[in-house]
Amino acid sequence: MALAKVVVRIRFKPISLRRVILGIHLCLGLTAGIFLAILGLTGSIMAFEGDIDHWFHPELWYVTPNPHPLPENDLVSIAQNRFRPARVFAVQFPRAPNLAQVMRMTDGTIVYLNPYNGSVLGDTVGISDIDQLLIYIHQLHLRLVPDPQSAPQLAQVGKIVVSVAALLLCLQVPIGLILWGRRKRGSIASPWLYFRDAHQLIGIYASLFLWIAAITGILIGFDFGEKFFYDITKSSPPVPLQPFQSVEISGAIPILADQVLEVTRRTMPGASAAMMFMPQRPGGSFTVLMRVPEETSQNVHSSVTVDQYSGKVLNVRNYLTDSLGYRLIRLNRSIHNGDIFGLPSHILVSLSSLMLVAMVVSGFVIWWKKLAR
């Protein structure tokens, strides 16, 4: 009779709330672990997506700054004379004074120019191996498929999987904090408990950044993300940029690139030129992409379109006058990829992404050791 009571007592021993939460944490981790590891690895690289080519090819990119760069029309002429009969169709202006200016030619050649003395630092044709690798990494991060065009259906499924993984990470962070709250260990106790303590320690220090990355990733990955921003702000997406035609004047000579830049500076004071597209036919126009200080994203939205003969402004698109919903969407992306504060936030995003990988690995080892007991 006494033995029966003991058996019943053991059999119906209530499960603690902590064990339930720990079980949920484990199940979610095992479900999303491999995908979170991929997101962490690719995200740590993508944080420096705009700088990696500079680091691998410093001879093409880095120059000694000078207070007086050459006139833009001189730089365009140097490129066109050197690579004739190709013409410049786009000029990419550097964000930092120690970087080269890039000229994109009509034959696919990319020319790297020192904007202070006009020397040609080098040229490339097509996509470099580094750029192609970064494209694959970017697509892995977004869709788990390096080349979505080769497997569009698989890429569509991958996009959903990535979004769900971000959702599970969003749940994992507060669950992990709850579990840590019972122990409150802020250091590694012993080599025997290394992985468990490391898992908790990394989780505490990275929790805020991982949670922010998860939330912003959810709003990017799921289709309802953009709709959410437009709905809460009661606004609408911006109108797509349309081509504007210059008024052809018989015998007229197109204005110079420096004149175009001067018009854009007067039109949008405080903004800086990010890229200029040159007209390639008589009815074409100049379009200059402008970066306003409030726009933190690498990809700019503001632009000024100028008639190539009269210099008249044909269209202005200003990020500051865009709908609030659109600006919040861009801000969300800037936070997610680390553009928000430049290099410091890129470093932070990269480190937190690597911490996510460490969390996955240490969590798997903890589970495996318990399984092996």
Which residues, at least 6 apart from 78, have a Cβ–Cβ distance to it below 8 Å?
113, 118, 120
pLDDT of residue 3: 45
pLDDT of residue 269: 94
- Does 59 have pLDDT greater than 90? yes
pLDDT of residue 299: 84
Six-digit token string for 73: 């029309």
Q: What is the mean pLDDT of residues 228-250?
A: 91
Helix axes 129-143, 17-46, angle to 10 degrees: 160
**CA nearest neighbour of 214 among 31, 80, 308, 352:** 352
pLDDT-derived band at 15, boundaries 50, 70, 90: confident
**Cβ pair 41, 351 in contact under 8 A:** no
pLDDT of residue 370: 80
65-82 pLDDT per residue, tens? 998 999 999 999 999 999
Instruction: Name which of 168-172, 241-245, 348-352 the model is least confident about.
Output: 241-245
- Does 139 have pLDDT greater than 90? yes
CA distances in angstroms from 57 to 51, 100, 123, listed in the order given = 10, 12, 11
**pTM score, two decimals?**
0.88
pLDDT-derived band at 8, boundaries 50, 70, 90: very low
CA distances in angstroms from 231 to 175, 214, 323, 329, listed in the order given = 30, 21, 12, 12
pLDDT-derived band at 2, boundaries 50, 70, 90: very low
- Does 10 have pLDDT greater than 50? no
In whole angstroms, what is the distance from residue 85 CA to residue 95 CA?
29
- Does 198 have pLDDT greater than 90? no
In whole angstroms, what is the distance from residue 348 CA to residue 301 CA?
25
**CA nearest neighbour of 165 among 65, 292, 34:** 34
Q: SS3 of 16, please?
A: coil
**Cβ pair 40, 180 in contact under 8 A:** no
Give CA 318 to chain center in angstroms: 21
In whole angstroms, what is the distance from residue 331 CA to residue 326 CA?
9
Q: Exposed e or buried b for every residue in 190-208, given b needs 16+ CB within 10 A? A: eeeeebbbbbbbbbeebbe
Six-digit token string for 135: 């494209």
pLDDT of residue 186: 52
Q: What is the mean pLDDT of residues 236-248?
A: 89
Domain ranges of the chain: 24-51+131-235+344-371, 58-127, 257-322
pLDDT of residue 81: 95
Reply yes or no: is the peptide bond before residue 146 cis, omega within 30 of 0: no
**CA nearest neighbour of 197 among 206, 208, 189, 205:** 189
Q: What is the mean pLDDT of residues 287-315?
A: 93
Over pLDDT 70: what percentage of the chain?
Answer: 93
In whole angstroms, what is the distance from residue 367 CA to residue 250 CA?
78
**Cβ pair 176, 21 in contact under 8 A:** no
For residues 198 and 40, which has the higher predicted lDDT (pLDDT)? 40
- Does 11 have pLDDT greater than 70? no
Q: What is the mean pLDDT of residues 160-180?
A: 94
pLDDT of residue 324: 95
- Does 12 have pLDDT greater than 60? no
**CA nearest neighbour of 346 among 38, 43, 39:** 43
Please state which of the four CATH numbers 3.40.91, 2.60.40, 3.30.70, 3.10.450 is assigned to the domain occupying 58-127: 3.10.450
What is the C-alpha R_g of the chain?
Answer: 27
**Cβ pair 77, 88 in contact under 8 A:** no
The pairs formed by 300-305 with CB atoms below 8 angstroms and a separation of 24 or more are 300/274, 300/275, 301/238, 301/330, 302/268, 302/271, 303/241, 304/263, 304/264, 304/267, 304/268, 305/244
pLDDT of residue 188: 53
Give CA 2 to chain center in angstroms: 66
On average, the pLDDT of the chain sits at 91
**Cβ pair 120, 111 in contact under 8 A:** yes
Q: What is the mean pLDDT of residues 166-191?
A: 78
pLDDT-derived band at 184, boundaries 50, 70, 90: low
81-96 pLDDT per residue, tens? 999 999 999 999 999 9
- Does 157 have pLDDT greater than 80? yes
pLDDT-derived band at 27, boundaries 50, 70, 90: very high
- Does 104 have pLDDT greater than 70? yes
